[in-house]
């Protein structure tokens, strides 16, 4: 799933959003749809780890573990 950085022209905040197909990006701060996609994405290591963690948690909820190593799968089950 692609992650894009957006700038909200309504409240002047910047945020990273996971965009699914046919999803209209909405500002998490003010719920505005007036978002501008930023092309430069400064991915700080700590932030990327958080994103990977979220993606894994979602995968676990959806019941597939392909992005876990065998050792990690044992801990989850």
User: Which residues are near Zn ion by CB under 5 A?
Assistant: 8, 10-11, 27, 29-30, 32
DSSP the chain: --EEEEEETTT--EEEEE--TTPPP--TTT----EEEES-----HHHHHHHHHHHHHHHHHHT--TTS-HHHHHHH-
Q: How far is the CB of 74 from Zn ion (least distance, A)?
A: 42
Least distance between Zn ion and beta carbon 35 (Å): 8
Name which of 33 and 72 has its Cβ closer to Zn ion: 33
Question: Which residue, 3 or 59, has its beta carbon nearer to Zn ion?
Answer: 3
């Amino acid at each position: 799933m692609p992650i894009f950085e957006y700038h909200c022209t309504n409240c002047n905040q910047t945020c990273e959003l996971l965009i699914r197909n046919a999803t209209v990006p909405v500002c998490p701060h003010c719920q505005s749809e007036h978002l501008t996609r930023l092309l430069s994405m400064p991915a700080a290591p700590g932030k990327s780890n958080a994103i990977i963690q979220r993606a894994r948690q979602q995968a676990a909820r959806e019941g597939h573990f392909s992005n876990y190593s065998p050792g990690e799968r044992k801990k989850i089950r």
